[in-house]
Structure 1
Amino acid sequence: MSTKTATLHLFEGYGVEMEYMIVDRDTLQVRPITDQLIYDEVGAYVSDVEFGKMAWSNELVLHVVELKTQTPTHTLIGLENDFQEHVKKINQMLEKHNAMLLPTGAHPLMNPFEETKLWPHEHNAVYEAYNRIFDCRGHGWANLQSTHLNLPFGNDEEFGKLHAAIRMVLPLIPALAASSPVLDGKLSGLLDTRLDVYRHNQDKIPAIAGKVVPEPVFTQKDYREQILNRMYAAVAPHDPEGVLQEEFLNSRGAIARFDRNAIEIRIIDIQESPVADLAVLQAVVATIQALVGERWVGIDKLKQWDENRLSDLFLQVVRSGQETVINDRDFIDCFGFDCEDNCTVGELWKHIVAETLNLEEQPHVAHALNVILSRGCLSKRIVEALGENPGEEDIHRVYLSLARCLGQGGVFIPDKPC
């Protein structure tokens, strides 16, 4: 979401960012040419290119480009078309380089220690600081693509409600959004390998990511004291120039951006195409909206959950997705699901979507969400398409199909490849 504009209240606007890899059209090897792509468009090596309501920007590494809403959009409906239009434009521009965009949360074959090239142009001081402290050549820095969702709050009371609701939904998100089952040419055994790597990439300074699920703090004052200031103090000895003493340093799964009056959700793996991303985003937003509106339980009940209890569930879902069994009746009750002793995360999502989301007027988004709920998250479908013990040829075949899905705006179904 762009710089601070007029104050928006809960659910009055949405900021969406999607990160894609640039790869060779034939070999799928990463191509570190984001700066060349931007130069081809505007004739300069700049960090942002604006197209009215949409923009492109660079990321830490040279093989990733981010597409984003330039200012908060008042609705998510139809937004997939704006992103798809820019995917098409970029793919056309990359043709002369024999390159294209590739979706999913992690490149399945990249060797980050040999292939990583950092953005060398403006804002490089921040990237150099990260690289000096953490060595950004690993997967946790160089190979993790996501969709970010920014949700605004108008005041401290709204921040507290929004943060309470988002914390409850974070453990469930990978069940819909996981798209990274392969790393280093092998099935990792996790559905969301990106998030497992992500939560460890700053182990050197644990205060930066915490437990991924944020601590139960519900005012700006408490957030600054208990999260931001502790994090700034922890990084200070490693950052003598102070370039990282900013809110963006926070690497929890959802971070408060008081500079723009928004909370940014960061744990959504990028999907096979924007229509699938918008299916995930609309399900997540509808759930948060229901919790903020106290549809099933009061906000005070949500505020009682500590980060350790929620993080335990989050880690299970990172591994097993929709098949994760929830035995915690208190958690299930927070979503108004009347089941027996336990339920799977997939069953809980079907209940939540049925109660909160009407996609009748968005048939393409409805189809994408139905595939996710019936056939599994993208990771599960990728694993199904790869078969047992896949080799590099199998991985190449399936990920080429995913690149076609992105180019065409389709949904990946193993027995009906794009």
Structure 2
Amino acid sequence: MRPVNNSDHQPLALFAATGIELEYMIVSRDSQDVLPVSDQVIHSVTGDYENEYEEGPIGWSNELVLHVLEFKTNGPAAQLGSLADLFRENIQRVNDILQGHGGMLMPTAMHPWMNPALQMSLWPHGDREIYQTFDRIFNCQGHGWSNLQSMHINLPFADDREFALLHTAIRTLLPVMPAFAASSPLREGDLTGMLDTRLETYRHNASRIPEVTGLVVPEYIASRSEYDSLILVPMYEAIKPHDPAGVLQYEWLNARGAIARFDRNTIEIRVLDTQETPAADLAIAGFCIAILKALIDRHWGEQSLPSSMATENLAAILHATIRDGEHAVINDASYLQLFGFPEAKCEAGELGYHLLETLPREASDEGMFWRETIRFILNRGTLASRICKALGHTAKRSYIEETYRVLCKCLAEGRLFEGIS
């Protein structure tokens, strides 16, 4: 959320590298309640209350609240396949540090029973003016600000042409991403009826100033100047009466599901729930990137990158996948045609199988590392569906505690969640 000055960086070409960010909760080992000690974790390795720790290929960073810690690639990574082990090593290191605080890291996109009104603690150190301003304007004592964990994928573009291609491809795919990545069926101890409760909550968290989030699916944009005039300038104008000092008037204020970061020539995808292990997150990232490449290459036909697809139509598909994940019914034939799907209607999971089977098969191991994990997700369901099945589709507290303790073990051990035996 802090300003970046990268004026001297050399832009990377489309898909030349990827930046990955993964957010996790810190919880008590005993109660599994949120534990606000992220500042102590970073202090233990830097000797001060810094915002981040950046030694090695994976960095650690603070977030808005003290019970969340972010792990991120320390700069763009040329390959995704080797990152899972690096993330896991850093997760293990932080878990070792947290033992001294009686804590551990918890995966998934929302804490299953946290009450933000009682348990939210803002980051009180560097950049606190930013967090305090967000809190003053939007009231961060709600799930939409203090109980959301996600994976961010940062993809580069070298110029205006590449920006427009990438942005159009991302907005096209974005509505079905929750069908692969939903991991948040619970809020405050109850099943919400939605598999991606994080995104449902997220899309309302800045409702006081609608220009900040839009419809989550970003508008069609053809150039940087158009992005400025259609998205950034209206957003800055809308928030200015609430933020006269300009604390928040940077491009990272934009809360759409994918945002342009012109300060580093990337587009950041933000709609993907955190999974139970980095291997799953990175498989989803690899799958999504392969689909984006195929869209830009017109793999399924010249119609694959439409400028005419209305944002409202894409948002309607997103709302369906937020609610039903892989079971969401997509009955927009023109949308399905973009991916070469032969029928006029399907469930989102069926589209996922179609994409997996019809994507170009890359010869290298790097291009194949994600396929088996994606097949597991398509066969067994999103993590949210697997959580619901483990709970017996009830919200009994003891079942929730047992399930999330197993999920914490999955994160620590680097394995997929296959249910409760």
TM, length-normalised to structure 2: 0.96
Question: Is 1:404 matched with 2:409?
Answer: yes
Question: Is 1:169 matched with 2:151?
Answer: no
Q: Provide the identity percentage.
A: 44
Deviation at 1:390, TM superposition (A): 2.4
Point out the more displaced range, 74-83 or 7-16: 74-83
- The SS at the match of 1:194 is helix
Task: Within 5 Å, give how 1:44-59 maps onto structure 2.
Answer: 44-59=48-63
Task: Judge conservation of contact 2:295–2:305 (CA < 8 Å) in 1.
Answer: no
Task: Judge conservation of contact 1:292–1:299 (CA < 8 Å) in 2.
Answer: no
Partner of 2:347: 344
Deviation at 1:161, TM superposition (A): 0.4
Point out the more displaced range, 367-376 or 350-359: 350-359
Question: Is 1:386 matched with 2:413?
Answer: no
Deviation at 1:3, TM superposition (A): 6.2
Q: Distance in 2 between matches of 1:58 and 1:357?
A: 38
- The SS at the match of 2:318 is helix
Code of the residue aligned with 2:353 in structure 1: it is: K
Partner of 1:325: 329
- The SS at the match of 1:202 is coil
Task: Judge conservation of contact 1:161–1:299 (CA < 8 Å) in 2.
Answer: no
Deviation at 1:356, TM superposition (A): 2.0
Code of the residue aligned with 2:351 in structure 1: it is: L
Q: Distance in 2 between matches of 1:158 and 1:55?
A: 28
Query: Alpha carbon RMSD of aligned pairs, Å?
Result: 1.6
Task: Within 5 Å, give how 1:6-405 maps onto structure 2.
Answer: 6-298=10-302, 301-339=305-343, 341-356=344-359, 358=361, 361=365, 365-405=370-410
Which string of whole-angstrom CA distances, capped at 9 and with x for unpartnered residues, describes residues 215-238 of structure 1?
111200000000000000000000
Deviation at 1:355, TM superposition (A): 2.0
Q: Distance in 2 between matches of 1:390 and 1:278?
A: 29
Q: How many residues align?
A: 415
- The SS at the match of 1:20 is strand
Summarize the Cα distance change of 1:364–1:9 in structure 2 as closer, same or farther, 3 Å threshold.
Answer: closer
Which string of whole-angstrom CA distances, capped at 9 and with x for unpartnered residues, describes residues 64-113 of structure 1?
00000111011111111111110111111111111000000000010100
Q: Distance in 2 between matches of 1:352 and 1:370?
A: 11
Task: Judge conservation of contact 1:175–1:317 (CA < 8 Å) in 2.
Answer: yes
- The SS at the match of 1:100 is strand
Deviation at 1:369, TM superposition (A): 1.6
Which string of whole-angstrom CA distances, capped at 9 and with x for unpartnered residues, describes residues 135-162 of structure 1?
1110000000000000000000000100
Q: Distance in 2 between matches of 1:409 and 1:358?
A: 26
Task: Judge conservation of contact 1:104–1:270 (CA < 8 Å) in 2.
Answer: yes
Which string of whole-angstrom CA distances, capped at 9 and with x for unpartnered residues, describes residues 195-214 of structure 1?
00000000000000000001
- The SS at the match of 1:282 is helix
Task: Judge conservation of contact 1:164–1:299 (CA < 8 Å) in 2.
Answer: no
Task: Judge conservation of contact 2:81–2:369 (CA < 8 Å) in 1.
Answer: no
- The SS at the match of 1:17 is strand
Deviation at 1:405, TM superposition (A): 0.2
Code of the residue aligned with 1:174 in structure 2: it is: P
Deviation at 1:298, TM superposition (A): 2.8
Q: Distance in 2 between matches of 1:51 and 1:299?
A: 45
Summarize the Cα distance change of 1:3–1:279 in structure 2 as closer, same or farther, 3 Å threshold.
Answer: farther
TM, length-normalised to structure 1: 0.96
Summarize the Cα distance change of 1:186–1:357 in structure 2 as closer, same or farther, 3 Å threshold.
Answer: farther
Task: Judge conservation of contact 1:325–1:342 (CA < 8 Å) in 2.
Answer: yes
Code of the residue aligned with 2:55 in structure 1: it is: F
- The SS at the match of 2:53 is strand
- The SS at the match of 2:260 is strand
Which string of whole-angstrom CA distances, capped at 9 and with x for unpartnered residues, describes residues 312-343 of structure 1?
0000010011111211111111001223x311
Point out the more displaced range, 242-251 or 362-371: 362-371
Q: Distance in 2 between matches of 1:88 and 1:50?
A: 16
Deviation at 1:300, TM superposition (A): 7.9
- The SS at the match of 1:110 is coil
Q: Distance in 2 between matches of 1:297 and 1:304?
A: 16
- The SS at the match of 1:237 is coil
